[in-house]
Every structure is written in structure tokens, then in C-alpha cells.
Structure 1
Amino acid sequence: MAWFLVEIRYDQDRYGAVRPRHREFLTGLAEQGVVAVAGPLGDGSGGITLYQAEDREALQAIIDRDPYFVEGAVADHTVREFQPLIGAWVPGQ
């Protein structure tokens, strides 16, 4: 399994209406252990989610079901593989 940090930038005209469905989607993934942490940026321009997935293709399949992406509420996004080593929630710490 790999960790991926996904940062999105909102389409400011669309994201507000989609937000409840997006949060419900991420809550379900958090309950499954797929999402470690997620939330909006302090300036309201976008958000960050830390996912665990088998690989980049599996992550893309997850992202493709996110209401923000499905309903066009994301103006732009980046995906980076992340290797957590230190932290209270990191396994083995």
C-alpha cells in the first residue's frame, strides 16, 4: 500500500453545493481506512486529503468517484506519493 497526498483547488462557483456529498464520500473512505485525514485549506481556496491506496491507478479510481471531481467542483489538483515516517498516527511509532 502507498500513501498519496492530493491537493485540490476549488471551482469557487461549484464547490459549495457539492460539499455535503463530497464530505459524505470521504467519511465513508475514512471509515474504511482509505482516508487518513482530509480538510479544507484555511484560505478557502481548496483542500488536502491523505489517501492510502494500492497504487496510483487505484487512487485514480477513488478520485474518479469523488463528487467534487464528478460534478466539476475541482478547478485543479495535484497528486504526490507520500512516505510518512514520523507522527502519532504513523503505524509502528
Structure 2
Amino acid sequence: MNLYLVMVMRRPQFDPAVVPAHQRFLDELRAEGRVERSGPFGDKSGGAYLLRATDLVEAHAVAHRDPAHVSGGWDVTVYEWQAR
């Protein structure tokens, strides 16, 4: 599996009620061994998580199931990450 950095940035129409669903989503991925690290940014503008996936297509598919993306209140961007 490869590593992908998923950035989730709040839009002005962000709904705080989505946060618990987003956190449950990350907990499920963590239980599957798919998320190594996750957390919010200190300025509350969004956050990021490190996702394991077979390729970029799969990483996008997983990230687009995130309630943060589904709600439309967050911009979700996926980067292939070649961590050392």
C-alpha cells in the first residue's frame, strides 16, 4: 500500500455538526489499518490524515466517502506522499 496525505479544509459554509461523523469515519479507517495519523490544524481551518491505499484512484474514492467531503462544507485534496 502507498501513503496519501488527505487535506480537509473548511469552507465558509462549513457545518460543525459534520465533525462527529468525520471523526467516526476516521476511526473506522484507523480500525482497518488504513489511517496512520490524523488531526486538526491549530488554527481550526481544517486538518489532515495519512491514508494507506493501493493507488491514487483508491485514495480519492476513500476520501470522497468522508462526511467532510460528502457534506460539501470542506475542500478535500489528496496527495501521493513519498514519506521518508
- Unaligned 5+ segments in structure 2 are none
Residue in 1 aligned with 2:80? 81
Question: Deviation above 4 Å: which 4+ runs of structure 1?
Answer: none
Amino acid at match of 2:25: F
Deviates more, 1:23-32 or 1:8-17: 8-17
**Partners of 1:29 and 1:38 in 2: CA distance:** 11
SS at match of 2:23: helix
- Structure 2 residue 81 is matched with structure 1 residue 64: no
* Percentage identity across paired residues of the two chains: 39
* Length-normalised TM-score, structure 1: 0.82
Instruction: Check whether the contact 1:35–1:52 (CA below 8 A) recurs between aligned residues.
Output: yes
Number of residue pairs matched? Answer: 84
In the alignment, is the contact (CA less than 8 A) between 1:38 and 1:49 conserved in 2?
Answer: yes
Instruction: Give 1:12 shift.
Output: 4.1
User: For 1:8-47, what aligned pairs fall within 5 Å after superposition?
Assistant: 8-47=8-47
Q: TM-score, normalised by structure 2?
A: 0.90
**Unaligned stretches of 5+ residues in structure 1:** 86-93
Task: Work out the CA distance in 2 between the residues paired with 1:13 and 1:68.
Answer: 12
